[in-house]
């Protein structure tokens, strides 16, 4: 993909979206971000910002006009909340993006999916893209992201080339989801299971680079259209070791207390019931989905991304953790012992 391109990034003000915007600006592209709000940092970078609701087809259509490429990153994450809210953003929103790309003859669409679309509550060790969708998804997020991914894959044709990426557990400086959750719950966190489960993660800069490589690969070889790729550090780690390394980067003590996988699952089931019956705000401290995520292995074979997209992680886990520690220090969030 050569020359200056007009590129739309949905969710361009978010953690991953903003990192993709940075990479595209370094490439010399002209960027439009579509989000509910406006972001001063994007304005400083000269990014055009379009405000709107991803579930509003007219707003999405306006944002897609005259674009050469769309990165659809906007989504509703999380593990708790009404199914209709997840469906509205993740499914209806994706349908709107696909329709807008067609209406405005956008030739390329890169969609951010998630490995959770194939998670069945059991260990996934070295799984590749042939892993099937489960008969029953473990959360509303996973279920709606699976529907969205299937829509994007099915939309691939001669007019619109699409590709889906499944980055796993994105983390790094400016993270507003995974890392803050770990730190906020640090005092009451318990290791779930025996601690032997390994997981993949991906540093934010690597995740963003993978998206740009996917767009370039799609433009160079349209036979990649309709495919899906796992994206990670290609370095599976013990989940609880990674949690403790992130806590250490923030100057927090490690997690030392434990609970069995079964105990966490039962606690999650009970807490879900209480939250539903009493209509309590926020999310339960534990859910069945979180218990399964925290006690199982989920790491993936990224050979396809390496071969087809030329993806390799640029930043190692150790390098990323050092950058994260420096960011915590710079922002005053790092505790000193």
87 carries an active-site annotation: no
Structure tokens at 101: 């790309």
- Do residues 229 and 302 lie in contact, with contact meaning Cβ atoms separated by under 8 Å? yes
pLDDT for position 334: 81
| Overall average pLDDT of the 298-321 stretch | 97
pTM of the model: 0.95
pLDDT tens track for 85-128: 999 999 999 999 999 999 999 999 999 999 999 999 999 999 99
**Which whole number is the average pLDDT over 141-151?**
98
Task: Name 108's bridge partners.
Answer: 161
DSSP 90: I
Q: Residue 152 above 80 pLDDT?
A: yes
Residue 34 has pLDDT above 60, yes or no: yes
Q: What is the pLDDT of residues 195-254, one digit of tens each?
A: 999 999 999 999 999 999 999 999 999 999 999 999 999 999 999 999 999 999 999 999
pLDDT for 3 beyond 80: no
Q: Which of 149, 150, 10 is nearest to 67 (CA)?
A: 10
Active-site choice (86, 87, 141, 311): 141
- Report whether pLDDT(259) > 90: yes
Q: Identify which has the larger pLDDT, 320 or 184.
A: 320
Q: In this predicted model, which residue has the larger pLDDT, 266 or 333?
A: 266
| Angle at alpha carbon of residue 5, lines to 320 and 18, rounded to 5° | 30
pLDDT at residue 4, as a whole number:
63
Phi, psi of 202 (to 5 degrees): -150, 130
Local confidence band at 2 (pLDDT 50, 70, 90 cut-offs): low
CB-based contact 309:214 (threshold 8 Å): yes
pLDDT of residue 337: 53
Share of the chain above pLDDT 90, in %: 90
What domains lie within the chain, and their CATH numbers?
6-171+200-234+299-314 (3.40.50.720)
């Amino acid at each position: 993909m050569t020359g200056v391109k007009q590129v739309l990034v949905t969710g361009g003000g978010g953690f991953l979206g903003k990192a993709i915007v940075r990479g595209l600006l370094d490439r010399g592209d002209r960027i439009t971000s579509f989000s509910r709000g406006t972001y001063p940092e994007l304005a400083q970078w000269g990014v055009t910002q379009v405000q709107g609701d991803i579930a509003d087809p007219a707003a999405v259509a306006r944002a897609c006009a005259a674009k050469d490429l769309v990165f659809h990153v906007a989504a509703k994450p999380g593990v708790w909340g009404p199914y209709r809210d997840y469906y509205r953003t993740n499914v209806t929103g994706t349908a709107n993006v696909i329709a807008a790309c067609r209406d405005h003859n956008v030739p390329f669409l890169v969609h951010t999916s998630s490995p959770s679309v194939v998670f069945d509550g059991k260990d996934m060790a070295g799984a590749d893209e042939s892993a099937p969708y489960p008969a029953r998804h473990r959360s509303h997020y996973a279920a709606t992201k699976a529907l969205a991914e299937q829509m994007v894959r099915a939309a691939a044709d001669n007019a619109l080339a699409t590709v889906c990426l499944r980055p796993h557990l994105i983390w790094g400086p400016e993270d507003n989801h995974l890392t803050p959750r770990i730190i906020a719950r640090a005092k009451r966190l318990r290791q779930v299971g025996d601690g032997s489960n390994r997981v993949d993660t991906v540093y934010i800069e690597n995740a963003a680079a993978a998206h740009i490589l996917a767009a370039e690969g799609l433009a160079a070889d349209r036979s990649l259209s309709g495919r899906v790729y796992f994206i990670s550090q290609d370095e599976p780690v013990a989940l609880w070791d990674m949690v403790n390394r992130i806590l250490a980067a923030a100057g927090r003590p490690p997690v030392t207390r434990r609970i069995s996988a079964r105990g966490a699952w039962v606690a999650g089931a009970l807490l879900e019931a209480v939250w539903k019956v009493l209509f309590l705000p926020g999310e339960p401290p534990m859910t069945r989905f979180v218990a399964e995520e925290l006690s199982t292995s989920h790491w993936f074979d990224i050979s396809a991304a390496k071969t087809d997209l030329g993806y390799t992680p640029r930043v190692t886990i150790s390098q990323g953790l050092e950058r994260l520690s420096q960011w915590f220090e710079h922002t005053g969030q790092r505790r000193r012992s």
